[in-house]
Amino acid sequence: MKEHPLKERIIDGFRRIYPASPKPRVFRAPGRVNLIGEHTDYNLGFVCPAALELACFVAAAPNPAGRLRVYSENREELREWPVSDLPECRPAGNWTDYAIGVAQQLLRANHAIEALDLYVFSTVPTGSGLSSSAALEVSTALALLGGRALAPLELALLAQRAENEFVGMPCGIMDPYVSVFGRDLSAVKIDCRDLGNIIVPIPESVEILAVNSMVKHELGQSAYRERVRECASAVEAMRSRHPHVTTLRDADLEMVHELGSGPPALLQRARHVVSENLRVNRWVEAAAAGDLANMGALFVESHRSLQNDYQVSCPELDFLVDTALTLPGVWGARMTGGGFGGCTVNLVEPRHVAAFREGIAAAYRDRFGIVAEIHSCRPSAGAGEI
Ligand code: ADP
Ligand code: MG
């Protein structure tokens, strides 16, 4: 097997921090970009993310002093705990919570935690919606397991529980799931109700690019919780006539239109979720047919629905999408992730990629004075040892 191009660099970094430790094993877990299916996960619908080449790497070797030491190269910070203290650790409110949260979940699932020196290095930008947090959790879990087997779905659920319960972030299953189940050159359509998936090969004649708006508006967190509540209210309103509807996953567009007599926001929120689930299925069909025009058109429909009905976009994301659609070779663009900042995702013809990068960056800098970061989102394999 070909060695991962970053492996030597990770091992060198490990040796610099822990010169006395033996040679480490190295584990990798990717970040992700959600291609379509936004705000559908907590409504138990469909999402279709792809794992990225951007990933978190954790090098691990035994620590002879009975301690767990964790160094983050990105933060340039070393923290340590006696292994015997791990079950009682409380959240510290910083990046180490992701590692300790995972360790505690492993202990709860009856996996012993050995004393280890861990070196963390991630190429996933943090806090921009490409899921650096799940990449950190999954790679840390693999390092702590040290090659001991854990069913892939268990691994994803364990990472989610660590983030929900220890970090205190009520995130869905999508991020750790695709970090575990990702496939080279393919997206993964996930059914958030039964947690099954299908692999969706991406046509080779398109490049996927994420454009990071570099903004994150405060509104995001409160709006997220408000949308979750609004979806529950929409379900409540539907249930008088349709008692089998327990989440918006069960609703259809006719039921959405029956909400017309209630508050307009409920109809709009429900219309987004129900139509977005349909779009995921249509997008997967378009991808299977290699129909780039349709894949792009569905991206744009998804964005307009998030912008106008779900109302989780922002001027920066709308500008990036609208500008992308004026550039040559762009099949489609949409915001990706929770909204109010973070990234857009773009489908671009390979021969137009260089001009796209330049054109979108220049326009964004002129309008907002911000240098956008642009990432290639070539779909990659899921987590494992490298
Ligand atoms: P996202 O998952 O979209 O990148 P989150 O807010 O969910 O954003 O997670 C970002 C947080 O994850 C960071 O603030 C940091 O605490 C933690 N994190 C991710 N990668 C690293 C890393 N390499 N080193 C230290 N902390 C990290
Ligand atoms: Mg995250």
Q: What is the DSSP string of 168-217?
A: -----SHHHHHHHH-BTTEEEEEETTT--EEEEEPPTT-EEEEEEEEEE-
Contact assessment for residue 286 and residue 312, using Cβ atoms and an 8 Å cutoff: no
Task: With respect to residue 233, please indicate whether it lies within any of the assigned structural domains.
Answer: yes
- Ligand 1 centre to CA of 95 (Å) is 7
**Length of the chain (residues):** 386
pLDDT of residue 137: 98
Answer with the one of 168, 202, 236 that is the final residue of a domain: 202
Strand order, beta sheet including 330-336: 330-336, 341-348, 207-216, 373-376
Task: With respect to residue 383, please indicate whether it lies within any of the assigned structural domains.
Answer: no
Q: Decide whether any atom of ligand 1 lies within 6 Å of the 164 Cβ.
A: no
Assess whether 124 and 34 both reside in one domain: yes
Q: Given ligand 1 and candidates 95, 167, 373, which is best to mutate, with the most ligand atoms within 8 Å of its CB?
A: 95
121: which strand partners? 57
Structural domain tally of the chain?
2
Assess whether 277 and 177 both reside in one domain: no
Assess whether 101 and 159 both reside in one domain: yes
pTM: 0.95
- Ligand 2 centre to CA of 51 (Å) is 14
Assess whether 193 and 310 both reside in one domain: no
- Ligand 1 centre to CA of 237 (Å) is 38
Assess whether 91 and 136 both reside in one domain: yes
Domain assignment of residue 355, given as a range: 207-376
The one-digit pLDDT tens for each residue of the chain (386 residues) are 688 999 999 999 999 999 999 999 999 999 999 999 999 999 999 999 999 999 999 999 999 999 999 999 999 999 999 999 999 999 999 999 999 999 999 999 999 999 999 999 999 999 888 999 999 999 999 999 999 999 999 999 999 999 999 999 888 899 999 999 999 999 999 999 999 999 999 999 999 999 999 999 988 788 988 999 999 999 999 999 999 999 999 999 999 999 998 888 999 999 999 999 999 999 999 999 999 999 999 999 999 999 999 999 999 999 999 999 999 999 999 999 999 999 999 999 999 999 999 999 999 999 999 999 999 999 999 999 99
Query: Residue 7 has what DSSP assignment?
Result: H
Task: With respect to residue 381, please indicate whether it lies within any of the assigned structural domains.
Answer: no
Assess whether 161 and 55 both reside in one domain: yes
Assess whether 192 and 215 both reside in one domain: no
Report DSSP letters for 337-380, one per residue: SSSSEEEEEEEE-GGGHHHHHHHHHHHHHHHHS---EEEE----
Task: With respect to residue 324, please indicate whether it lies within any of the assigned structural domains.
Answer: yes
Task: With respect to residue 382, please indicate whether it lies within any of the assigned structural domains.
Answer: no
Place of tokens 């935690």: 113
Assess whether 214 and 185 both reside in one domain: no
Assess whether 126 and 250 both reside in one domain: no
Q: Decide whether any atom of ligand 1 lies within 6 Å of the 132 Cβ.
A: yes
Q: Decide whether any atom of ligand 1 lies within 6 Å of the 336 Cβ.
A: no
Answer with the one of 163, 181, 202 that is the final residue of a domain: 202
Q: Coil, strand, or helix at residue 309?
A: helix
Assess whether 217 and 291 both reside in one domain: yes
In this structure, the strands spanning 197-201 and 186-191 are antiparallel
CATH of the domain at 30: 3.30.230.10
Answer with the one of 202, 218, 242 that is the final residue of a domain: 202
Q: How far is CA 218 from CA 34, 75, 95, 133, 211, in A?
A: 21, 23, 20, 19, 20
Assess whether 241 and 372 both reside in one domain: yes
Assess whether 176 and 34 both reside in one domain: yes
Task: With respect to residue 1, please indicate whether it lies within any of the assigned structural domains.
Answer: no
Contact assessment for residue 238 and residue 261, using Cβ atoms and an 8 Å cutoff: no
pLDDT of residue 1: 64
What's the rounded Cα separation, in Å, for the pair 113 and 335?
A: 39
CATH of the domain at 362: 3.30.70.890
Task: With respect to residue 384, please indicate whether it lies within any of the assigned structural domains.
Answer: no
